[in-house]
């Protein structure tokens, strides 16, 4: 009998110790993760009673919490919701958080460890906990211009300040209204979520940073950078550029879009090849330099790296092991080359900034409700993609594209614009992607921009980067330059 009692006592002690160990583990090591889970409604009930800090552009809130008369006490609201939705994201009782509302949640609700002293003061003074404000880098005029330019289209726009990496605009369409998901009428929220997630246009998709597309001829900037950096080419080097370029290992040639040779010659200069966006010329360069050189150059512009953690951007990519025909296709931004609009804006910004690619960022600073600075983002260099000399050569070639070539719709009166168009083919069943990436002024860049149009609801033959994307880029650049 005593033996049985002893065994039972030992078992009880072991279970008690296991319970204590598990409780200690959860509180000491897992508490942060569990509290941060989107589906933790107990924490969310508590957080909805916090005066959540605003998300600002300058001093203007684009997301803020206002007092409410229901059990939640505060209602999250979004000014011009669809315009900023890809950046702000949403704050929803049922569906958690997205965008800045997710990645800056601890700062916005005041629970970040850096604000611990502020919380102690609030407890001592019997003041309700208040979140910090998050100020974004966006330029309101540029954001509005980007959003308006995408009206009636499916696509995205990203603009960057070349010298710092500050994101000046980040817009996608179709978009959605975060106010519908932040509502306290949970039946309405559920209905809105179902509608948005099932909508054919994918309005909640952040095409600017989370979707990958073939960059088409805008990638020729990367190929040109590799060519100039190799020492084998100058802007005046003549490149084989016939109407059709035979490729090894296949009977299918690489052809120019217009079915003709490059600018009236089978051997155009690199400048003329970029001006006219000659596929065969850049296919020739790709075969000459080989895939590794193109991949290494792409990596120096940021391919293969995840940028903008504020929004969880995906990494753009260059194919791992293409054969020779695939390398020629990759050199013109086709085959398996995939890029985000953010990435192609970084390419233009790197060239604009004398070859130095700056790390893009969206959060300018975080401040407590009494304006004490919690954190401030400083510009950070990412890579030296090309030398200043090569960047200067690329800049002049891109100026020529806008002044005399396919980028004419991107011209701004009194301002020298450097740019490159792109029209990326995918399959006969869907329209091509139209691209334009540019920066201005060419001699003292204040803005670099990339525009991608996925669908414009127009005939296939009317789709081109110059006609569709360049006018949007022009309006965004004008907004920043005050034109």
Catalytic residues: 217
Per the structure block, which two tokens stand in for 207? 């095409």
Burial class (CB in 10 A: 0-12, 13-18, 19+), 168: buried
> Residue 95 has what DSSP assignment?
T
Residue 14 CB partners (closer than 8 Å, separation 6+): none
- CB distance 411 to 417 below 8 Å: yes
Task: Give whole-number Cα distances, 389 to 217, 225, 443, 476, in Å.
Answer: 23, 11, 14, 28
Q: How many helices (H) and strands (E) does the chain have?
A: 18, 19
Taking Cα atoms as reference points, which of 253, 149, 220, 258 lies closest to residue 479?
A: 149
**Cα–Cα dist 156/170, whole Å:** 7
**Cα–Cα dist 52/186, whole Å:** 20
Q: Catalogue the E-assigned strands of 227-348.
A: 238-240, 244-245, 254-255, 267-269
Q: Could you write out the DSSP letters of every residue in 164-175?
A: T-BEEEEEEES-
CB atoms within 10 A of CB 35: 16
Per the structure block, which two tokens stand in for 353? 């900034």
Q: Hunting for tokens 């070639």 — which residue is that?
A: 397
CB atoms within 10 A of CB 259: 8
Handedness of CA 248, 293, 220, 451 (dihedral sign): positive
β-pair type (91-92, 96-97):
antiparallel
CB atoms within 10 A of CB 456: 18
For the chain, what percentages of helix, strand and coil (3-state, to nearest 5) are there? 40, 20, 40
**Cα–Cα dist 230/352, whole Å:** 20
Residue 482 CB partners (closer than 8 Å, separation 6+): none
**Cα–Cα dist 158/451, whole Å:** 7
- CB distance 243 to 263 below 8 Å: no
- CB distance 160 to 352 below 8 Å: no
Task: Give whole-number Cα distances, 406 to 140, 242, 254, in Å.
Answer: 29, 19, 20
């Amino acid at each position: 009998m005593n033996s049985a009692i002893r065994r039972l006592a030992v078992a009880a002690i072991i279970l008690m110790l296991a319970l204590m160990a598990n409780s200690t583990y959860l509180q000491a090591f897992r508490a942060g993760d569990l509290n941060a889970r989107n589906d933790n409604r107990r924490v969310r009930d508590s957080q909805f009673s916090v005066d959540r800090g605003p998300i600002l552009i300058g001093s203007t809130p684009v997301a803020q919490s206002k007092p409410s008369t229901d059990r939640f006490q505060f209602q999250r609201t979004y000014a011009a919701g669809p315009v900023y939705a890809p950046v702000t994201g949403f704050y929803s009782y049922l569906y958690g958080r997205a965008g800045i509302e997710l990645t800056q949640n601890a700062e916005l609700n005041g629970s970040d460890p850096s604000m611990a002293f502020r919380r102690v003061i609030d407890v001592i003074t019997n003041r309700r906990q208040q979140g910090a404000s998050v100020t974004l880098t966006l330029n309101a005029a540029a954001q509005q211009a980007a959003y308006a330019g995408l009206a009636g289209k499916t696509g995205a726009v990203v603009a960057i300040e070349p010298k710092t990496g500050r994101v000046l605009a980040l817009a996608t369409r179709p978009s959605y209204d975060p106010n519908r998901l932040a509502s306290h009428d949970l039946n309405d929220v559920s209905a809105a979520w179902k509608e948005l997630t099932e909508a054919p246009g994918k309005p909640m998709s952040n095409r600017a940073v989370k979707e990958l597309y073939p960059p088409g001829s805008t990638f020729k900037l990367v190929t040109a950078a590799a060519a100039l950096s190799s020492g084998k080419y100058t802007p005046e080097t003549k490149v084989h550029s016939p109407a059709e370029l035979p490729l090894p290992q296949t009977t299918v040639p690489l052809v120019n879009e217009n079915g003709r040779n490059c600018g009236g010659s089978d051997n155009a200069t690199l400048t003329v090849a970029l001006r006219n966006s000659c596929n065969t010329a850049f296919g020739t360069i790709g075969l000459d330099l080989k895939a590794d050189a193109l991949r290494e150059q792409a990596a120096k512009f940021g391919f293969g790296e995840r940028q903008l953690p504020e929004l969880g951007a995906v990494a753009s990519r260059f194919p791992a092991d293409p054969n020779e025909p695939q390398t020629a296709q990759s050199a013109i931004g086709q085959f398996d080359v995939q890029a985000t609009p953010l990435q192609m804006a970084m390419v233009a910004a790197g060239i604009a900034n004398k070859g130095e690619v700056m790390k893009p960022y969206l959060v300018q600073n975080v401040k407590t409700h009494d304006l004490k600075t919690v954190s401030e983002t400083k510009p950070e260099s990412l890579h030296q993609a090309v030398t200043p000399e090569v960047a200067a050569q690329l800049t002049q070639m891109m100026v020529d594209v806008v002044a005399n070539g396919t980028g004419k719709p991107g011209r701004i009166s009194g301002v020298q614009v450097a740019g490159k168009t792109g029209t990326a083919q995918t399959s006969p069943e869907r329209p091509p992607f139209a691209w334009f990436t540019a920066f201005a002024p060419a001699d003292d860049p204040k803005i670099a921009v990339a525009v991608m149009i996925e669908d414009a609801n127009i005939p296939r033959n009317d789709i081109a980067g110059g006609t569709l994307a360049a006018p949007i880029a022009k309006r965004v650049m004008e907004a920043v330059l005050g034109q």
